[in-house]
Chains A and B, each alone.
Chain A
Amino acid sequence: MSAEDTPRVEDTGFAKKAAGPVKWIDERVGGASLSKGLIRKVFPDHWSFLLGEIALYSFIVLLLSGTFLTLWFQPSMAEMHYHGSYAPLQGVEMSQAYASTLDISFDIRGGLLVRQIHHWAAALFIAAMMAHMLRVFFTGAYRKPREVNWLIGVGLLGLGLVEGFAGYSLPDDLLSGTGLRFVDGLIRSIPIVGSYIEFFLFGGEFPGNEIIPRLYMAHILLIPALILGLIAAHMLLLVYHKHTQWPGAGRTNENVVGYPVLPVYAAKAGGFFFIVFGFTAFMSAIIQINPIWVYGPYNPSEVTAGSQPDWYMGFAEGAVRIMPNWEWSFLNYTWSWNVFIPAVGGLTSLFVILAAWPFVERWITGDDREHHLLVRPRNAPTRTALGAAGVTAYGVLWAAGGNDIIATQFHLDIFAITWVFRIGFFVFPVLAYIITKRICIGLQRADAERVLHGYETGVLERTPDGSYSERHAPLDVNRQYALTNHARLPELTETPLVDENGVELTGKARRKAKRRDKVRRWYYAGAHDKPTTHDVDHALEHFAGHEGHPVELGQEFAGVSETGVPKQH
């Protein structure tokens, strides 16, 4: 639209109505100068950018539904006799926490729905955070300048797991109590100070009568406040950095192409919040989750066969299940490595690896540039392969967390399954690494092939000497550009083993330089580089009719459809 078509702002009906309130607010808080750019800020569009949004929106759903639940929930372990409307538990002795959860489920209209919304949203919150994190990892979006935001994300995931576990423990039913018993065993396994932490946390011997009120405080105040603070920082940095985008015609490392916050993203993202909320509510209407009345109140001498934690704790559960039974008596102490290594060690190492990766990769590549363009996973084969190995290791542990379910469902021997997971934890990630790397390199070659030789038209030709060939047509230039604008592989020359003053490195410094050189070679090994200018020029000549492949396809030819029918303009 040109300037002439647009009426002056003051003359539109909308502005006449809005001018008064805007003036009133601006004279008091002065927001106009800050907001004028922000509300038209440009965001790029891609489905994978919605994953983080799902996490954000499910957190808002959690805040809303959680607030509703606090109106009735009693975070108390005081014992009482149940006299609510759920007949099978009439007169049974239970904690107030469990009884009030039953009341929410059976006596408060809509209480069951909101409880289920809360639980489904929690499962979705963690799932969306993890999917979002994988998206960021596999597209290299964590690279400079976004390392700090990656760390904030790692912190959010960790807090999310703790928050989820705390909430899961609150109803004090048999399943959640079994989960707490597991955590008690885990805390006891901490060398030397385990008993102290146990007695301070539980206010004495397990289960005591303090843990639920304490977890309640953490669950509804402390951790949500930390999560909210980190989300705010996450969002501020996102706005400041501007969102990454996929490369393509007109989309470079220096710009961002997309739609403005107002109106397009206000409608799309705002609408998406309602979709996430609506989806969660609809699921809660038709799919049951955590029916605590079936499990009964917590009793340390009872357990249900097939007890399972919420899905996001499954990997820690699996690690504990497949760990060999190592325990030492040493220096007059008991060292429970069978619990400490998989549970405490496993969780810690997961988060240390996640937090360290951007810095490790930067040390390997020595890359100090700012990156705002996403990388297709195939164009970073080693990173993608490492990610696949990590996902596989996580998957093995997660599946191991359900080894009893696998055994009963498929009538397999539980010991054999456990051994498969024990070995698989070490073997499958290596296989995943090798296979993924080969697939990435294959895809890189295919991309180069398509740039240089075009796509298959499906038109077969016979030459006068009787040989057959298929006609290729060059790709659309936008497509060609999208396939070739990623970074070229660095040239791996021999490392000069000298310092900045040209003095030969010796001893430790020399070994360090050599080691880094070796890691860098490994990191880039095998990757297929994109075509050079020379390759492309050569390919153009080829298309122009050399080597017996004429490409006079005519003006109308627009390629062929999947069924081989020539497309029409």
Chain B
Amino acid sequence: MSHDVHTPVPAEEPIDNPGLPAHLPRPTDVDPAQAKRAERQVSTLFILAILLSLGFCVAYFAVDIDATFLGWSALNFALGTTVGLSLLFIGVGAVQWAKKLMDDHEAVEMRHPVASSTEDRAAFMESINAANRESGFGRRPLIRRSMLGAMAALGLPAIVVLRDLGPLPHSQWKTVWKKGMRVVNDVSGMPIKPSDIEVGQLINAEPAIFYEVDEEGERVVEGTELLQAKSKAAVIVVRMRPEDISPAKGKENWGVDGILCYSKICTHVGCPISLWEQQTHHLLCPCHQSTFDLADNGKVIFGPAHRPLPQLPLAVDEEGYLIATSDFPDIVAPSYPELHRDQKKLDKGDQA
């Protein structure tokens, strides 16, 4: 530092170092009876530890895995307390041995500067220098640079070889919803009639395709595909008084008698939203408390989510069950970098 603002004050310390205080003997140092007592204490702890380990083995075979104790697994309680206390007693015994019986004279060790001596550092510099001289590492920049370049270039294969970790991202605007697909209850898989829903009620629902089976009785969508589809296509169906709803332009006929359908997947980080306040028509996400007004087009009224909850346009089919009239016109699930672009394409496709 070229311009230190402070120079240490040379004043000597106000109190001189009195040196290490004299060693005080413990009761166990001066009284053989106390020492004997401590010895018995420590070995008792160790013997108890042995017994507890044996107790663990007995419990392992004797306690039934389904037995309960105070409403919870008796085996877990028996195994945990025996082995836990056994470990504790070993530990406490060892510490007690050290504290009461082992020599407790404090030892003093001098520190050495962390840095090597000037001579050692000079010798080290001389060694690298010699290596540099003998190899010509510094003198032959062509070799040096090409070698470093060659090693750096190995980073490319190391990155490229990871390419097949996954497919390139594709547009995520599509869900399994299609024009005419029935909205079904997510537990029973039964289609829903408008008359099944009372004002103020919320139903967790799914697209009917999740429950469809092919000729051989196999589900059409299953396994990983089903989870991926669910993470975008899950919906909630709510019924409000029609006069409470203020639909945006173009959304006037997306509902059926005050029944509206929204994506269940939060536009923040994708939690399924389900906390419904029927008085206020607010839907609250249990993960980060983003709050959406379902009477006002799923508008965000509080919390970290930015985009409104996408709405699924509804109608009824000839049998009187709720169906979707299209896929979601707005992209569902959490935002991603290409969302803006995808949404524009989606809007254009709508007009076409």
Q: Which residues in A have some Cβ–Cβ distance to B below 8 Å?
A: 40-42, 77-79, 85, 106-107, 109-110, 112-113, 116, 145, 178, 181-182, 184-186, 188-196, 198-210, 240-242, 249-260, 263-265, 267-268, 270-286, 288, 298-307, 317, 320-327, 329, 332-336, 338-339, 342, 366, 368, 370, 372, 403-404, 414-415, 418, 451, 477-478, 480-481, 484-485, 488, 490-500, 513, 517, 520, 530-533, 535-536
CA distance A391 to B91 in the complex (A): 33
CA distance A44 to B34 in the complex (A): 26
A259-B21 CB under 8 A given contacts A199-B169, A271-B92: no
CA distance A106 to B13 in the complex (A): 67
Nearest to A207 among chain B residues (CB) is B227
Of B82-90, B148-156, B248-256, the stretch lying at the interface with chain A is B82-90
Contacts of B165 in A (CB 8 A): 200-201, 203, 210
Nearest to A282 among chain B residues (CB) is B84
* In contact, B88 and A278 (Cβ under 8 angstroms): yes
Q: B107's contact among A42, A186, A268, A370, by CB below 8 Å, is which?
A: A42
* In contact, B304 and A323 (Cβ under 8 angstroms): yes
Expressed in whole angstroms, the minimum distance between the Cβ of A314 and any Cβ of chain B is: 13
CA distance A506 to B165 in the complex (A): 55
A267-B228 CB under 8 A given contacts A42-B108, A532-B14: no
Residue B139 lies at the interface, judged by CB distance under 8 Å to chain A: no
Besides A194-B337, A195-B336, 19 new A-B residue pairs in contact (Cβ under 8 A), listed by A number? A42-B109, A109-B65, A145-B115, A182-B269, A185-B268, A188-B336, A203-B165, A207-B228, A242-B111, A268-B95, A285-B79, A300-B230, A300-B234, A301-B230, A305-B274, A484-B14, A485-B17, A533-B13, A536-B14
Contacts of B284 in A (CB 8 A): 414
Residue B352 lies at the interface, judged by CB distance under 8 Å to chain A: no
Residue B157 lies at the interface, judged by CB distance under 8 Å to chain A: no
CA distance A258 to B108 in the complex (A): 7
Residue B196 lies at the interface, judged by CB distance under 8 Å to chain A: no
* In contact, A300 and B272 (Cβ under 8 angstroms): yes
CA distance A121 to B196 in the complex (A): 50
Nearest to B2 among chain A residues (CB) is A500
CA distance A339 to B335 in the complex (A): 9
CA distance A186 to B335 in the complex (A): 9
* In contact, B80 and A477 (Cβ under 8 angstroms): no
Q: Which residues in B have some Cβ–Cβ distance to A below 8 Å?
A: 1-9, 11-21, 60, 65-66, 72-73, 75-77, 79-81, 83-95, 97-99, 102-104, 106-111, 113-115, 162, 165-169, 172, 186, 204, 206, 222-224, 227-228, 230-231, 234, 264-265, 268-272, 274-275, 284, 286-291, 300, 302-307, 334-341
A268-B286 CB under 8 A given contacts A195-B336, A366-B6, A492-B5: no
Expressed in whole angstroms, the minimum distance between the Cβ of B167 and any Cβ of chain A is: 6
* In contact, A484 and B13 (Cβ under 8 angstroms): yes
Contacts of A403 in B (CB 8 A): 289
A184-B269 CB under 8 A given contacts A241-B114, A284-B80: yes
* In contact, A254 and B111 (Cβ under 8 angstroms): yes
A113-B304 CB under 8 A given contacts A77-B224, A206-B228, A481-B17: no
* In contact, A188 and B113 (Cβ under 8 angstroms): no
Nearest to B17 among chain A residues (CB) is A481
* In contact, B334 and A189 (Cβ under 8 angstroms): yes
Contacts of B79 in A (CB 8 A): 109-110, 113, 285
A-B pairs with CB below 8 Å: how many?
Answer: 378
Expressed in whole angstroms, the minimum distance between the Cβ of A319 and any Cβ of chain B is: 10
A191-B94 CB under 8 A given contacts A338-B306, A477-B15, A533-B11: no
* In contact, B15 and A281 (Cβ under 8 angstroms): no
Q: A299's contact among B80, B88, B111, B230, by CB below 8 Å, is which?
A: B230
Contacts of A278 in B (CB 8 A): 83-91
* In contact, B271 and A303 (Cβ under 8 angstroms): yes
* Closest 3 A/B residue pairs (Cβ): A285-B80, A185-B269, A271-B94
Expressed in whole angstroms, the minimum distance between the Cβ of B309 and any Cβ of chain A is: 13
CA distance A188 to B230 in the complex (A): 18
Contacts of A202 in B (CB 8 A): 166
Q: A517's contact among B5, B223, B305, by CB below 8 Å, is which?
A: B5
Expressed in whole angstroms, the minimum distance between the Cβ of A361 and any Cβ of chain B is: 14
Nearest to A106 among chain B residues (CB) is B65
A263-B271 CB under 8 A given contacts A284-B84, A495-B3, A533-B11: no
